Structure 1
Amino acid sequence: MSSWTAEELQALDRIDEIRVAGRRQDGSLRTLTIVWHVVVDGSLYVRSVRGAEGSWYKGVIRHHEGAISWDDNTREVTYIPDATADDQLDAAYYKKYGDGPDTDAIVNPTARPTTLRVEAR
């Protein structure tokens, strides 16, 4: 069950980009990085366009905790690997961002294994 409010999910669904960051061992946040995201079935998802080699992804996957930022909002989050809705996510990425090479890069075999469900804490 999602820990986001309906209003937060609606706002997240409307905007094109969010910023994500993982948490370091000392508890501080890594640098916020812009990523594309989608909302599917009441959950927020992100992927790394560079796959497992993406620096933000490496930072997030290390402790599975961090934050996201959008508009004037920042929320503490947990990042959970979740490939259960990959086909739906691919369709959602195409619907939100359109057909083209940029979207192809986020739904390809390099990016798909980095699917993370983002839960607010």
Structure 2
Amino acid sequence: MKRFTEDQLQHLSHMKTVVIETRLSSHARSHSTPIWVVVEDGDVYIRSYRGQAGRWYQEITAFPSAVLHLNREQLAIRAIRVTDEATITRVSQALLQKYPTSSSSYAESMVRDEVVGTTLRLEPASLSWATDPEERKIPSKSFSPEE
């Protein structure tokens, strides 16, 4: 498993929003959307506010190679679906801690049942990693607490 650098993790943990650039395929036009991001136990997670109906979520699940724009830095990423309930719960807690309901009316929406199933873990990637059509399918993995 590829890991973000400590500097990247620190940067991501302090940013309130990032812009994700997604596309339906390597040849499709890209689409950019501001999203929330959390760092939990050294891993980076995102979730779709609109659940599975979110355009960026549909694109990243069809083609999991994307780019995060962090001010002037661009990070190529690959999304991996999270199915482990304990990890999903930790991500929900991290979201509520980073975006408290007292300062954002959207925080509670990010932990709704129809939204928690869109939890994705991000890992660094190359924009050219997906040359094989089979590799473009989004993997699903349960993470143990140690991971």
Give TM-score, length-normalised by structure 1: 0.92
Q: Deviations over 1:5-56 (max 9, x none)?
A: 0000001000100111223424455211100110001010000010000011
Supply the AA of the counterpart residue of 1:92.
A
- Structure 1 residue aligned with 2:20: 20
Larger radius of gyration: 2
- Structure 1 residue aligned with 2:93: 91
Q: What is the DSSP-based 3-state SS (H/G/I as helix, E as strand, rest coil) of the residue aligned with 1:110? A: helix
Question: Structure 1 residues 5, 28: CA separation in 2 closer, same or farther (over 3 Å shift)?
Answer: farther
2:106 is matched with which residue: 86, 94, 102? 102
Matches within 5 A, 1:28-107: 30-84=30-84, 85-99=87-101, 101-107=105-111
Moved more, 106-115 or 26-35: 26-35
2:8 is the counterpart of 1:8: yes
Q: What is the DSSP-based 3-state SS (H/G/I as helix, E as strand, rest coil) of the residue aligned with 1:111? A: helix
Whole-Å separation in 2 of the counterparts to 1:22 and 1:58:
9
Question: Structure 1 residues 118, 52: CA separation in 2 closer, same or farther (over 3 Å shift)?
Answer: same
> In 2, are the aligned partners of 1:22 and 1:61 still within 8 Å (CA)?
no
Shift of 1:71: 1.5
Identity %: 25
Whole-Å separation in 2 of the counterparts to 1:26 and 1:89:
29
RMSD: 1.5
Moved more, 49-58 or 81-90: 81-90
Whole-Å separation in 2 of the counterparts to 1:6 and 1:32:
25
Give TM-score, length-normalised by structure 2: 0.77
Question: Structure 1 residues 97, 77: CA separation in 2 closer, same or farther (over 3 Å shift)?
Answer: same
Whole-Å separation in 2 of the counterparts to 1:28 and 1:77:
17
